[in-house]
């Protein structure tokens, strides 16, 4: 009898545990947790190591907060942005100012602002209308000044200015003669510049005495996306280059500018240099990262080896050193996971002790998040496609990254296209997997990080072999029993939005539906309407995509434009657009929506009047994802959270097609 009671008791415990786990698996993660503002993010140490800043919401808008380095609970906001939120900021070397950039409603005409951390007074250092300013360089040798790049004289070219932080006075340092970018040293001297040639190659030039430019390195067209100057050491005597010449993957090379000798620091046969860890004072590179399917670090400087070994044992996740004090006694370290928030620690090097600071999204803790699996696929012509697969929690009982039965699937396509997908926490993967979908992200040819042969294989292949790679990935997922052939969606932003439109026009029967977020529909008008400051790299784009400046090139671009084939669209389409997007202008979405309406093809079009290329305001992000979630549920059969209050504070305007999304027409009427 006692044994029977014990067995019954443990059986009940097991049943209850399994039932509780199954219920947890079905928990609908709120969109606000995934797409709202982070709780805290972007921590940075002041150069003197006495203070810590981070981004957090102030009245619902991301701002910079300041705290004593050892008392995060005493943090107070020092900026007062009221609309778009701050996302990019830095400390000046006097530890007195924080500088940040902000634009107007997504137009990317960035202004540079500076705030005094003691008085909290904020000033606009570049109060210029219709002009874009960029951070160029900060230096401990000139702690009260910034170097900035401004395209006021010629909207195509950014000149270099020296700006006094106290007075705001700007002084011209260098007038841009047609260069894509510059490398400056800590004495605020412009030392190197890179420019494209009409043939699609590039050249790196060194600025000598009297401001005369002389050739330093010739970079052939096959190396233009994988070879570039990365920066100088503090003394200005060593130039670090990421260099793929005479090899496939890019290596890190140190060039001694006094002797002319070059030294290979690190290389990897499968992946390009993806990141470096440099000493905060000397700027000597201490470790190099390579990322094939997961990020791996190679330590070059033994003085940090013990630190990194200790930090790897502190917490789970990939270790990233995100900030260091100038004396290098304190670090801020991030731990990245696929199934949890980013966790930040402050590390005291002298004591060899790391103290937890905060998680960026603590609301994710304890939620049923899904593992991201790296998978290596093969294209039809033999290329390795590093991809990432996420499955709904509970559908893969044996843990082999294969569901018990085929699922509806969303193929997500990254932007760029000269960018890549990475392993780690991704809000789209968690959101879609939680709603019941398999999620697959593919590093198609042209994605960066896998060597020059891989990136060059995409030349002239928009809507060609680049799209074939995506179709091959879908075919793989179907063959592996992951995806239900009849319930596959395609979704992406920027180039990913273009790929969505290509999917529904070039392969109209493959996808059940598509979600295009700021994707170009016509490659000719995309190139013609490019921002003026893209002109220095237009020869590069012409070589990689097609040349809109010739009739032959225009004909080719039209042949690779979804707008040309609107009448082929058979499946539902959702389009989202920022009205102020300077890269993919509103006309790109307007024209394909109008063409679809002219052909009687159903489409839903969401326009956001205060956004640009991607959405900065969380109110708009929540509104977009609420519509997308209901749209996908209607056509793939997954779960969805009702729109509810997710339109509050958003500028969303449904131009057409509200009737094609469940609950949307009713929401708009109310």
Identify the active-site residue in 387, 447, 494, 650: 494
Strands 573-578 and 513-517: parallel
Known active-site residue 494: yes
CA distance 532 to 132: 11
Burial class of residue 409, CB neighbours in 10 A (0-12, 13-18, 19+): buried
Structure tokens at 328: 């290098």
User: Closest Cα partner for 152 from 130, 181, 125?
Assistant: 130
Task: Give the up-direction half-sphere exposure of residue 20: CA atoms within 13 A in the CB hemisphere.
Answer: 7
CA distance 519 to 508: 17
Sign of CA dihedral 394, 396, 402, 406: negative
CA distance 624 to 652: 8
Known active-site residue 613: yes
CA distance 163 to 171: 6
Known active-site residue 142: no
Q: For residue 62, list its beta bridge partners.
A: 57
CA distance 319 to 496: 29
Q: For residue 413, list its beta bridge partners.
A: 492
User: Closest Cα partner for 121 from 78, 82, 74?
Assistant: 78
User: How many residues would you count in the chain?
Assistant: 670
First to last CA, the chain: 64
Q: Which residue has the tokens 């220095």?
A: 536
**Which residues fall within 8 angstroms of residue 97, CB to CB, at 6 or more apart?**
91, 114, 115, 116, 117, 165
Strands 190-196 and 181-184: antiparallel
Residue 37: count of CB within 10 angstroms of its CB: 19
Identify the active-site residue in 613, 625, 635, 660: 613
Strands 202-207 and 213-219: antiparallel
| Chain centroid to CA 480 | 29
Residue 25: count of CB within 10 angstroms of its CB: 14
Identify the active-site residue in 581, 589, 646, 660: 581
CA distance 169 to 200: 38
Contacts for 476-482: CB closer than 8 Å, 24+ residues apart: 476/377, 476/378, 477/389, 477/409, 477/438, 477/440, 478/406, 480/402, 481/402, 481/403, 481/405, 481/406, 482/389, 482/391, 482/402, 482/403, 482/406, 482/407, 482/409, 482/438, 482/440
Contact 52, 95 (CB under 8 A): no
Contacts for 644-647: CB closer than 8 Å, 24+ residues apart: 646/31, 646/32, 646/622, 647/623
Structure tokens at 226: 């994988």
Catalytically active residues, by annotation: 494, 581, 613
């Amino acid at each position: 009898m006692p044994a029977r009671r014990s067995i019954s008791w443990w059986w009940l415990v097991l049943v209850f545990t399994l039932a509780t786990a199954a219920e947890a698996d079905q928990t609908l993660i709120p969109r606000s947790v995934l797409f709202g503002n982070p709780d805290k993010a972007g921590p940075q140490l002041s150069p003197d190591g006495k203070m810590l800043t981070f981004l957090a919401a102030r009245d619902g808008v991301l701002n910079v907060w300041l705290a004593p380095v050892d008392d995060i609970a005493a943090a107070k906001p020092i900026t007062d942005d009221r609309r778009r939120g701050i996302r990019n900021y830095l400390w000046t070397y006097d530890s007195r100012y924080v500088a940040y950039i902000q634009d107007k409603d997504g137009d990317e005409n960035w202004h540079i602002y500076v705030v005094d951390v003691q008085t909290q007074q904020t000033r606009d250092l570049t109060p210029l209308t219709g002009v874009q300013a960029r951070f160029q360089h900060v230096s401990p040798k000139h702690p009260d000044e910034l170097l900035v790049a401004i395209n006021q004289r010629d909207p195509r070219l950014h000149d270099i200015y020296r700006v006094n932080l106290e007075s705001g006075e700007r002084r011209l340092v260098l007038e841009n003669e047609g260069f894509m970018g510059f490398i400056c040293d800590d004495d605020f001297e412009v030392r190197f510049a890179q420019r494209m040639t009409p043939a699609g190659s590039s050249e790196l030039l060194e600025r000598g005495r009297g401001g005369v430019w002389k050739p330093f390195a010739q970079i052939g067209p096959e190396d233009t996306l994988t070879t570039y100057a990365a920066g100088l050491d503090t003394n200005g005597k060593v130039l670090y280059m990421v260099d793929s010449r005479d090899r496939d993957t890019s290596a890190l090379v140190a060039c001694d500018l006094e002797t002319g000798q070059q030294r290979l620091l690190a290389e990897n046969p499968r992946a390009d240099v993806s990141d470096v860890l440099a000493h905060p004072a000397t700027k000597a590179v201490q470790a190099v990262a390579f990322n094939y399917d997961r990020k791996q670090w190679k330590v070059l400087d033994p003085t940090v080896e013990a630190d990194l070994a200790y930090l790897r044992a502190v917490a789970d996740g990939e270790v990233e050193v995100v900030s260091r004090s100038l004396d290098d006694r304190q670090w801020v370290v991030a731990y990245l996971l696929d199934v949890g928030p980013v966790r930040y620690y402050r590390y005291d090097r002298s004591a060899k002790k790391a103290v937890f600071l905060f998680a960026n999204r603590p609301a994710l803790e304890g939620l049923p998040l899904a593992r991201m699996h790296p998978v290596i696929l093969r294209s039809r012509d033999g290329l390795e496609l590093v991809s990432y697969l996420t499955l709904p929690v509970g559908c893969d009982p044996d843990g082999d990254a294969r569901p018990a039965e085929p699922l509806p699937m969303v193929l997500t396509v990254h932007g760029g296209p000269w960018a890549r997908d990475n392993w780690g926490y991704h809000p789209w993967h968690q959101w879609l997997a939680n709603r019941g979908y398999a999620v697959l992200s593919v590093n198609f040819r042209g994605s960066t990080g896998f060597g020059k042969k891989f990136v060059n294989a995409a030349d002239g292949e928009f809507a060609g072999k680049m799209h074939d790679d995506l179709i091959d990935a879908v075919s793989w997922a179907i063959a592996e029993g992951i995806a239900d052939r009849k319930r596959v969606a395609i979704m992406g932003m920027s180039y990913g939005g273009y790929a969505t439109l290509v999917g529904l026009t070039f392969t109209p029967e493959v996808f059940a539906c598509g979600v295009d977020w700021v994707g170009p529909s016509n490659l000719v008008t995309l190139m013609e309407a490019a921002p003026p400051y893209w002109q220095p790299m237009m020869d590069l784009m012409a070589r990689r995509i097609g040349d809109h400046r010739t009739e032959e090139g225009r004909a080719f671009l039209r042949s690779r434009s979804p707008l040309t084939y609107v009448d082929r669209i058979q499946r539902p389409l959702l389009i989202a657009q920022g009205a102020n997007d300077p890269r993919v202008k509103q006309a790109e979405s307007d024209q394909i929506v109008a063409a679809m309406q002219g052909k009687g093809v159903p489409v839903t079009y969401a326009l956001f009047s205060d956004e640009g290329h991607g959405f900065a305001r969380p109110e708009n992000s929540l509104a977009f994802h609420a519509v997308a979630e209901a749209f996908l549920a209607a056509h793939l059969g997954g779960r969805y959270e009702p729109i509810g209050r997710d339109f509050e504070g958003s500028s969303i305007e449904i131009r057409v097609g509200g009737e094609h999304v469940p609950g949307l027409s009713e929401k708009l009427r109310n």
